[in-house]
Amino acid sequence: MSGEEAKGPFFGMRHLQTFLLFFGIVSAFIITVNIGVAVVAMTNAATTNPEFLEFKWSKQEIAYIFSSFSWGYVISQFFAGPLCKELGVKNTFGWTILISAALSAITPYCVMWKGWQAFCLIRFIHGLVQGLTFPCAIQHLAKWLPAKERNRLGAFSFTGMECGTVLALALSGIIAKGSMGWLGIFYVSAGIGFMWCLLWLIFGANSAGETRFISKAEKHFIESSINGASKSDVTKIPTPWKAILTSGPFLALIVVRCAHVYGWSTFETQIPSYFHGVLKMEIKSNALYSALPFLASWFISFVYMFLGDVLQAKGTVSLTALRRIFSSLASWIPALGLIAIGFMNQETKTWALAIMILSVGANSGKTIGILLNNIDLSPNHAGVLMALSNIPAFSMAIISPLVVGFIVTDGSSRLQWQIVFAIASVIFFLGNLVYIIWGSTDAQPWNDENFLAKDSAKSVTKESQSESQPDVAKKETKQNVI
């Protein structure tokens, strides 16, 4: 076997699939995150383009708009994993972005027609379809990426979260001030989604064996590298629900994911409001400054990728240690940052921005530290694990804006923001502590495609043995009598 065959081509279809996932996640996040800037523009036209309609929504109504996406997102997790396995990632993910783009395109009309209630309904449906995004992504990575490339390429695809957030926050304010007004935020987001769908239709593929664009060398490299790890594209593997839901390492993963989603949701949806209410910035600078932390997060993601590769290549740390270190950096630095941010006001806005950048940047380690752990535990059921962990995790995204809406009755109150950030900080800390103690990177026994058959066979054997024991006892009794 040549060196290229042993290592795989320098650039091939597995890299293209990674780029497609990256841009797909970017599209999804642009459509999702633009609400942070859009709502400010829709409720305060004077700071953007006063020629467009302004809505007089209360803080509570805005909280409902923010949280409605997460309600749909959580519900979709109950069927996301099995749907990805049954229909294939190409179909499922393609329809996810297509429907999301179409909903974004009709949002302005619906909101002007029926107000915030229509906005809530659209955001709910958005959440319902976009809930399939990450189960699809993690399942796709399990099919395409050899273990040695998983940290680097897998982490790169998930940096679409940061990149999409940056684009949504930075561009939305500029668009809102332009001739299209706040309507343009939704139209541009829809256009980006439609363009991605075309690329995915042409180049997307469920596995190395389903695309005509792959070379024989790369196909052999991928299939030999993941042989025995992920066979769900060859056979329909039944899901061992009971074993998964009672697995200690998986439950630890759920806890840390809940902590991260709560903290991330606080950053993602509340940064525009924090800068607008406390630091008194106009929306254009608000959107740009709000994007800076996520831009830092995107760049720092590449630092995490580089460090992960170096530490693993040199054998400095085990994969388990690597996951725990990166998870700790991604949890405890933001926890400390949030405490500090709670003491900032208009006079210290430069420090607030610097701490925000550091905190959100450090949080990008969650991809290598946490998200890829789904594939570690079970390549065959990675999409199902992601969906199952998303159910409680994104319940936190429902709770977070509601908590903020309940606590922050005055957007300019530093004390109220202190309480919000303190709560998120404690959750960050405790969630990661659980993951350090009980998390694991070992493939679990229930990843075996024959696990349920073996488990069933053991049960039958035990039952037959228990049934035969009375007969043996009767024979021994008869012999004793004789």
pLDDT number for residue 277: 74
CATH topology for 13-232? Growth Hormone; Chain: A; (1.20.1250)
Residue 126 banded pLDDT, cuts 50, 70, 90: very high
Same fold: 13-232 with 235-456: yes
pLDDT tens across 353-385, in order? 788 888 888 988 999 999 999 988 988 888 889
CATH topology for 235-456? Growth Hormone; Chain: A; (1.20.1250)
Residue 394 banded pLDDT, cuts 50, 70, 90: confident
Q: At what angle do helices 319-341 and 349-363 cross, to 10 degrees?
A: 160
How many whole angstroms separate alpha carbon 453 and alpha carbon 470? 27
CB atoms within 10 A of CB 473: 10
pLDDT number for residue 479: 52
Looking at per-residue pLDDT, the higher value among 49 and 131 belongs to 131
pLDDT tens across 334-352, in order? 889 888 877 877 777 788 7
pLDDT number for residue 438: 93
User: 125: buried, middle or exposed (CB in 10 Å: 19+, 13-18, 0-12)?
Assistant: middle
Mean pLDDT of 19-47: 87
Q: Where along the chain do its domains lie?
A: 13-232, 235-456
Of 55-69, 207-221, 448-462, minimum mean pLDDT range: 448-462
Q: Mean pLDDT across the chain, nearest whole number?
A: 83
Is pLDDT of 231 > 70?
Answer: no
Whether 136 contacts 383, CB under 8 Å: yes
Looking at per-residue pLDDT, the higher value among 269 and 323 belongs to 323
Looking at per-residue pLDDT, the higher value among 448 and 189 belongs to 189
Whether 63 contacts 70, CB under 8 Å: no
